[in-house]
Structure 1
Amino acid sequence: MMVLATAGHVDHGKSTLLRALTGMEPDRTEEERRRGLSIDLGFVWTTVPGGPDLPDDRVAFVDVPGHERFLATMLAGAGPVPAVLFAVAADGGWMPQSQEHAAALDALGVRDGLLVVTRRDLADPGPALARARTALAGTGLAELPAVAVSARTGQGLDELRTAIAALRDRLPAPRTDAPVRLWADRAFTRPGHGLVVTGTLRAGTLAKGDVLHTAPGEPPLTVRGLEELGRSTGRSTGPARVAVALRGEAPRGGLRGTALCAPGTYTLTGTADVRFAGAVLRRVPPRLTVHIGSAAVPAEVRRFGRGTARLVLGRPLPLRIGDRMVVTEHRRVVGSAVVLDPLPPYVGPRRAGGRRADALAAHPGTPDLGYETEARGLVRAATLSRIGVDCSAAAPVTDDWLVSAGERRRIAAAVTEATADGEPVEANGLIRRLGLPDRALLAALLPPERTLRAGRIVAADRADPLPAAARALVESLEAGLGRGEFLAPTPAELTGLGVGRRDLALAVGTGRLVRLSETVHVAAGVPERAADALAPLAEYPFTVSEARIRWNVPRRIALPLIEHLDRAGVTRRGPDDRRTLSPTHGPTRENST
């Protein structure tokens, strides 16, 4: 399926054109039909000629209002759509809202579509087309193919259908395996279906039974039914216009303007560093509104310089590197913003902003694995994937940790300095001093002549102080942790292995094991990995059983492990015995620049 949005000045025949093309009525409300004025988004569809390689000949249209008062609604409809039908009336020519819509589409990064000169039966389309070409020069819409039509007489409609088919053939194929991010442009309840949202699925695949997340603290929603262009389906692949029946409770703020995302594929963020373009560069106001997808969100602006700034958003959004936003002030388009960093580091006052501007000036503006790794120093591949970076070629040093060359040199230099006298060094102290978020990183990045043994950094040939039985136990638990398993031997197993209380105390004292309770000991690093495993549950309170499922451990391990996280402040226990992840959990150096 191909999805197109209309654009153009009010009363230039957008809705009339769609009626002639589809035989359907895009104005949904009685008020719109009475006034002859589109107020909200309309949705109609038809088919165009296809070929043997293009079995799907469906074309869906999102009809947007042209009046300046409804610019936000226009952006909500056009935001997720890859191409446009830009209408200019032959008897009206280029008008103020034509210019506004052109600026908005250029800011959104729309680069393809058709320029349609309407009402060719009322005036010569040549002057209107020439003026439109001049106005669009220098934008991404400058080279749009043009067709002149009359919806009243039918002149040019066959040519328009042929041009739409050609447009479909040249649009790039979307990724069917892309993570779902469906921006809801309508939300309502329907008898027999319950909660329903509609939107343009730009890429990815959505199916019945899928779970979708909306906002922090909100429970997930489950897809109970799908429709494409009025027909039920079990699976939708973008691009497509879809209506999604949902099981669950709508967020307190409603669903219109919200993105429904597959769990674990996006990071909801309230702060983003961006690069501005357009008139906003000449005067960056302290407050403005940013539009992305179907969302319109107020934002406070901290200007860094060199065209870059930090946006503090009125509500969290699922942003990725390279996302484009339209920037408006007082309902007027003043420019665009490209997201450079959806997970930016803390930037201090005064001159720190200039240093951040210098760092962002080198950003390519698109997701780049090498750049992001070098800029962040230490970062998980999963973190980069959630903000749009392809990590298929990544080479983690341990687990999914990626480390820049500069960070490797810093760690190696610190280890060399700390062990220069040849004496053992406590690993925990060096880990804290280096600010390493995972103990395993130090072991993976030690120089060849040093090793981590019994919680200390020693010469590689220095003997291990643990008895053989205890050493074998620790190594087996560490190997299990490397496989993602949180193992803890039972008292009976310890007796069978010949490991006593003094051996366990020595292993704990040297940092090789962590004591969770009198009878439960785990490998060092298990609490940190367990906390990371709870990240998908961060948006709502969870039970010990839910945590146990995430960890894949028996209850005898899960209970002392969650209580250990409670004591460490990683989790918070509620009066109903459910837990929530602390918002301050996990202060790592992933985002440092």
Structure 2
Amino acid sequence: MGAQVGRRGVRYGSRPMMVLATAGHVDHGKSTLLRALTGMEPDRTEEERRRGLSIDLGYVWTTIPDCAEGAEARSACGPASDDRVASDDRVASDDRVASDDRVASDDRVAFVDVPGHERFLATMLAGAGPVPAVLFAVAADGGWMPQSQEHATALDALGVREGLLVVTRCDLADPGPALARARTALAGTGLAELPAVAVSARTGQGLGELRTAVAALRNRLPAPRTDAPVRLWADRAFARPGHGLVATGTLTEGSIARGDVLHTGPDGPSLTVRGLEELGRATGRSTGPARVALSLRGEAPREGLRGTALCAPGTFTLTGTADVRLAGAVLRGTSPRLTVHIGSAAVPAEVRRFGRGTARLVLGRPLPLRIGDRMVVTEHRRVVGSALVLDPVPPYVGPRRAGGLRAETLAAHPGTPDLGHETAVRGLVRTGTLSRIGVDCTRAAPVAGDWLVSAAERRRITGAVAEATADGEPADANSLIQRLGLPDRALLAALLPAERALREGRIVRADHADPLPAAARALVAALEAGLARGEFLAPTPAELAALGIGRRELALAVRSGRLVRLSDTVHVAPGVPERAAEALTPLAENPFTVSEARIRWNVPRRIALPLIEHLDRTGVTRRGPDDRRTLCPTRLTRENST
């Protein structure tokens, strides 16, 4: 992880900030405890302070260095003295980034204070959802209560396994009975082994031990993935004069820098990070875990930003359907209409149960989901279980009887992203598709382009080729491609047995002579070499004549797939249209001219014009009335339905 600029210009080192969420029954002293720990006020609104009841999420922070217990701990780990009022509303301007190069360990601890009342369960889940560890409060004079259990169930469903169990108000009652009851209630959950501390926020008893326990917890947490793609769930969003649109959230992993572009969805607006803060202090880059506030340039989506994920472009697939593994009471005949919570989002969902604890969720709005994501399932504001995402881009499943087959497939899913498993069950899939749903493809071995092929699919294709050519006669490649349902012609060529070859659109014996004359073969080789260098070459008619290549040789090369005809006088290597389309991606935000495309391609107009017209014909670009082009949405291919 790179260094980060923090308070007073100190540049933090490799240890990241820690972010904790509170949890526990209403009026069990969560906010009071945070005031004592940080010296800051987590209840932001006048109504919350008047009623003594947290209604919305609160954000406070302090510094807690590694230190020993006792008086020394209380002195060394005391609350921050220069930040007395929570200020998540402050947002970095364009020129407030500190530049001091001193290096220090990041001792900052941020807290997300959640409401404890049952009416605000969705708000609690929005705050705790992206946070990896919890400060679970149980009052010594109140003991284990219904909302304590609700919060424990929700945290267990989210997969939270780290944190501290804090028995508050130990000056009012013996903490022993409350601790014993909490241990019993948490038995069998992921929170069963939480270290416990008894404190009194009023007298200060146990606060030193609590700070020491927080420092020890920080050292237990797993190292974050600093190179992970950004998915920031916005838990607050508002407009602020002079700063425009502001969104705050818990960055769990990855990095955000000023100037980055973030998306809310394929049809949503692009938002540019014009300012960035960590805990009220400006910074040029933030690496998770961290509490961040972003000043954004651009228009908010119509439904607002709160509960929306801000993602790095091209790193996630938004999906309205996901196959999941269910756990908890949701397995036992609950309503098919439920609400699922992930990050700061709460989305209605319809459930189709397949069997063996698996189901399909049809979401009320698309979400950027990945394999292994955990969701809390609620019904009428009560937690009824959890859902583990197994397939964010599932195939079509027909009548109910087909659900049993899907259940068998999902039951064998490991529950985590696995390259071998995903390739095996999908048959044919692009590495880009797998990467966007969380699969590490760095060790993948594509057979053609970025296509991965399972062993079973490979056997199916080679078997079909052997059958089609069993009589020794050439077979029509296009017919075989359609019969096999191959989404890319290159797959057939890559998977042909060694004794077969693809020539002139036909599958023939490999020992048959190449029908192209030597001059045409040399031309094809030169164009392919140019494409490998990133050049889109096309010989002029004069150059073709000098090589002795006429219409017959060109037509033969086109029929055999060795050249692509863009016009009567422009022929290019296979792959040029696809590479040309990729090169236009930076122009996708706005309509562009042929001249702008030509500059991206670095080709003369005699090649650019037939190339853009070819992309028009194939649906990659769309020509507008002003002769400008726009890139069309990517067509659905087989990997989205396998």
| TM-score, length basis structure 1 | 0.94
Which structure 1 segments of 5+ residues have no match?
Answer: none
Aligned to 1:321, the other structure's residue is in SS state coil
Work out whether residues 26 and 42 of structure 1, in 8 Å CA contact, stay in contact via their aligned partners in 2: yes
Which AA in structure 1 matches 2:44?
Answer: R
| C-alpha distance 403-530 of structure 1, shift in aligned 2 (>3 A) | farther
| C-alpha distance 534-412 of structure 1, shift in aligned 2 (>3 A) | farther
Distance of 2:198 and 2:321 partners within structure 1: 45
* Counterpart position of 2:41: 25
* Counterpart position of 1:543: 592
* Counterpart position of 2:126: 76
Q: Kindly indicate whether residue 243 of structure 2 is the aligned counterpart of residue 197 of structure 1.
A: no
Matches within 5 A, 1:54-65: 55-65=105-115
Distance of 1:552 and 1:377 partners within structure 2: 37
| C-alpha distance 307-169 of structure 1, shift in aligned 2 (>3 A) | same
Q: Kindly indicate whether residue 267 of structure 2 is the aligned counterpart of residue 217 of structure 1.
A: yes
Work out whether residues 439 and 525 of structure 1, in 8 Å CA contact, stay in contact via their aligned partners in 2: no
1:330 CA drift (Å):
1.3
Distance of 1:245 and 1:24 partners within structure 2: 23
What is the aligned counterpart of 1:119 among 133, 155, 169? 169
| C-alpha distance 262-143 of structure 1, shift in aligned 2 (>3 A) | same
Q: Deviations over 1:166-196 (max 9, x none)?
A: 0001101101111111111111122222211
* Counterpart position of 1:581: 632
* Counterpart position of 1:453: 503
* Counterpart position of 2:77: none
Q: Kindly indicate whether residue 156 of structure 2 is the aligned counterpart of residue 106 of structure 1.
A: yes
Work out whether residues 251 and 287 of structure 2, in 8 Å CA contact, stay in contact via their aligned partners in 1: yes
What is the aligned counterpart of 1:230 among 276, 280, 285? 280
Distance of 1:548 and 1:393 partners within structure 2: 35
Distance of 2:346 and 2:159 partners within structure 1: 17
1:123 CA drift (Å):
1.0
| C-alpha distance 574-356 of structure 1, shift in aligned 2 (>3 A) | farther
Aligned to 2:34, the other structure's residue is in SS state helix
| C-alpha distance 60-516 of structure 1, shift in aligned 2 (>3 A) | same
Work out whether residues 544 and 558 of structure 1, in 8 Å CA contact, stay in contact via their aligned partners in 2: no
1:455 CA drift (Å):
2.4
Work out whether residues 284 and 303 of structure 1, in 8 Å CA contact, stay in contact via their aligned partners in 2: no
Which AA in structure 2 matches 1:356?
Answer: R
Q: Deviations over 1:501-551 (max 9, x none)?
A: 33222222333323222333233454456567777888x665356766776
Q: Deviations over 1:72-101 (max 9, x none)?
A: 111110000000000111111111111111
Work out whether residues 438 and 525 of structure 1, in 8 Å CA contact, stay in contact via their aligned partners in 2: no
Distance of 1:455 and 1:478 partners within structure 2: 18
1:232 CA drift (Å):
0.5
What is the aligned counterpart of 2:200 among 142, 145, 150? 150
* Counterpart position of 2:182: 132
Q: Kindly indicate whether residue 401 of structure 2 is the aligned counterpart of residue 351 of structure 1.
A: yes
Distance of 2:605 and 2:23 partners within structure 1: 59
* Counterpart position of 1:382: 432
* Counterpart position of 1:50: 66
Q: Kindly indicate whether residue 85 of structure 2 is the aligned counterpart of residue 36 of structure 1.
A: no
Deviates more, 1:307-316 or 1:75-84: 307-316
What is the aligned length? 589
| C-alpha distance 65-578 of structure 1, shift in aligned 2 (>3 A) | farther
Q: Deviations over 1:450-473 (max 9, x none)?
A: 112232211111112222222222
Which structure 2 segments of 5+ residues have no match?
Answer: 1-16, 68-102
1:581 CA drift (Å):
2.4
Aligned to 2:320, the other structure's residue is in SS state strand
Deviates more, 1:62-71 or 1:343-352: 343-352
* Counterpart position of 2:544: 494
Which AA in structure 1 matches 2:26?
Answer: V
Work out whether residues 320 and 386 of structure 1, in 8 Å CA contact, stay in contact via their aligned partners in 2: yes
Distance of 2:402 and 2:490 partners within structure 1: 32
Matches within 5 A, 1:74-473: 74-473=124-523
Distance of 1:329 and 1:380 partners within structure 2: 37
Distance of 1:421 and 1:362 partners within structure 2: 41
Distance of 2:620 and 2:449 partners within structure 1: 21
* Counterpart position of 2:90: none
Distance of 2:343 and 2:40 partners within structure 1: 25
Q: Kindly indicate whether residue 27 of structure 2 is the aligned counterpart of residue 11 of structure 1.
A: yes
| C-alpha distance 510-149 of structure 1, shift in aligned 2 (>3 A) | same
Distance of 1:536 and 1:238 partners within structure 2: 27
| C-alpha distance 560-345 of structure 1, shift in aligned 2 (>3 A) | farther
Deviates more, 1:504-513 or 1:341-350: 504-513
Which AA in structure 2 matches 1:395?
Answer: A
Aligned to 2:301, the other structure's residue is in SS state coil
Deviates more, 1:515-524 or 1:238-247: 515-524
Deviates more, 1:295-304 or 1:500-509: 500-509
Deviates more, 1:109-118 or 1:257-266: 257-266
| C-alpha distance 248-112 of structure 1, shift in aligned 2 (>3 A) | same
Deviates more, 1:559-568 or 1:261-270: 559-568
Distance of 2:603 and 2:423 partners within structure 1: 33
Aligned to 1:212, the other structure's residue is in SS state strand
Which AA in structure 2 matches 1:304?
Answer: F
Distance of 2:533 and 2:452 partners within structure 1: 18
Q: Deviations over 1:139-159 (max 9, x none)?
A: 100000011111111111111
Distance of 1:144 and 1:553 partners within structure 2: 64
1:434 CA drift (Å):
1.4
What is the aligned counterpart of 1:518 among 553, 568, 572? 568
Distance of 2:591 and 2:395 partners within structure 1: 29
Distance of 1:552 and 1:66 partners within structure 2: 61
Identity of aligned residues (%): 84
Aligned to 2:567, the other structure's residue is in SS state coil
Distance of 2:151 and 2:179 partners within structure 1: 16
Distance of 1:332 and 1:550 partners within structure 2: 54
Distance of 1:341 and 1:329 partners within structure 2: 23
| C-alpha distance 480-137 of structure 1, shift in aligned 2 (>3 A) | farther
Distance of 2:237 and 2:310 partners within structure 1: 12
Work out whether residues 621 and 629 of structure 2, in 8 Å CA contact, stay in contact via their aligned partners in 1: no
Which AA in structure 1 matches 2:54?
Answer: S
Which AA in structure 1 matches 2:169?
Answer: R
1:568 CA drift (Å):
3.4
| C-alpha distance 490-130 of structure 1, shift in aligned 2 (>3 A) | farther
1:122 CA drift (Å):
1.0
1:258 CA drift (Å):
0.9
1:316 CA drift (Å):
1.3
Q: Deviations over 1:23-51 (max 9, x none)?
A: 00001111111111111111000011237
Work out whether residues 544 and 559 of structure 1, in 8 Å CA contact, stay in contact via their aligned partners in 2: no
* Counterpart position of 2:117: 67
1:578 CA drift (Å):
4.0
Deviates more, 1:477-486 or 1:270-279: 477-486
Deviates more, 1:280-289 or 1:92-101: 280-289
| TM-score, length basis structure 2 | 0.87
* Counterpart position of 2:10: none
| C-alpha distance 253-543 of structure 1, shift in aligned 2 (>3 A) | farther
